[in-house]
Amino acid sequence: MKVLVTVKRVIDYNVKVRVKSDNTDVDLANVKMAINPFCEIAVEEAVRLKEAGTATEIVAVSMGPKAAQEQLRTALALGADRAIHVETDEALESLTVAKMLAKIVDEEKPDLIVMGKQAIDSDNNQTGQMLAALSGMPQGTFASELKIEDGKALVTREVDGGLQTVALNMPAIVTTDLRLNEPRYASLPNIMKAKRKPLETKTPADLGVEVSARTKLLKVEPPAERSAGIKVDSVEQLVEKLKNEAKVI
C-alpha cells in the first residue's frame, strides 16, 4: 500500500509571530520554520502504518519555495521513503494546492492520502476537502484514530456530539487531528540517511496548474494587547465590577 503524505512549511509554533512595520504581511526574516504540526501528525501516522506492515511506501509532498525542501528532508528523516517538491515562490491558496495535489495523485496513484487537517498559518482547513472533491475520493476529516481493515480505512473522527467512525473505500483521503498520535523526533542516523533519499522537484507548470491569486491580502495586524487582571476581595466586589465596569451583567 502506497501512502502519500503532505507537508507544509510554516513558522515554528514556538516562535512569536511578528507583523511587518507596514502591516503588509507577517515578518518571516530570520524566523525559525518547521513542519506544520498537523502535517507532523500525518507523517507519524504514515510511518506507523509502515511499521505495522500495512504500508509499503511513503511519499512526502510539499509545495512552496526551495527552502521547503528542508521540511521534506525532515519528513524523510522521520520515515518517508521519497519526496516530491513542487517549487514556487508564489503565494499558494488552498484550491491551487488541491489542484496540484490532484495531479500528483493521478501520477502516483496512492492507496491512502494523509494530510494535516489545517495549517497553523492560514488556518483554512480546506485543502483536504477540496482534494477529495477534485479527485472523487472519499474523505475522513478530523481523524483521532485510523485503522486499515479489509481494504477499507476506518476513521474515527471528532464531531460536535462526540466521536463518529466512518468506513472509507480506498483510495481515500484522511485529515489528522491532534489526538491521532504523538509525533516522534528524528534521530541523527535517520537525519543523515534522509540526505541520500530521493527528492524530486517539479514546478506548477509541469503539473499543468496555473498559480494565480484569487484573494488579496489587504492588511495584517497583531492582536490587541490585553490589560492586566485585578484581584477582588469579595464576591460582592466582583459582581459590582462586572456590572458597572465590565458591563457584562
pLDDT digits (tens, 9 = 90+) for 118-150: 999 989 999 999 999 999 999 999 999 999 998
pLDDT digits (tens, 9 = 90+) for 87-117: 999 889 999 999 999 999 999 999 999 999 9
pLDDT of residue 215: 87
Q: What is the sign of the dihedral through the CA atoms of 21, 26, 27 and 32?
A: positive
Q: Among 50-54, 136-140, 168-172, 217-221, name the one with the lowest average pLDDT.
A: 217-221
pLDDT of residue 99: 96
- Domain positions in the chain: 2-244
Please give the backbone phi and psi of residue 5, each rounded to the nearest 5 degrees, phi first: -125, 135
- What confidence tier does 247 reach under pLDDT thresholds 50, 70, 90? confident
- Would you say the pTM of this structure is higher than 0.85? yes
| Sheet arrangement for strand 82-87 | 162-169, 152-159, 139-149, 172-176, 112-116, 2-6, 57-64, 82-87, 199-202
How wide is the angle at C-alpha 134 spanned by C-alphas 103 and 214, nearest 5°?
A: 90
Residue among 68, 46, 67 nearest 1 (CA): 46
For the chain, the average pLDDT equals 93
Cα separation, 21 vs 9, whole angstroms = 23
Architecture of domain 2-244: 3-Layer(aba) Sandwich (3.40)
Cα separation, 65 vs 88, whole angstroms = 5
Please give the backbone phi and psi of residue 118, each rounded to the nearest 5 degrees, phi first: -165, 165
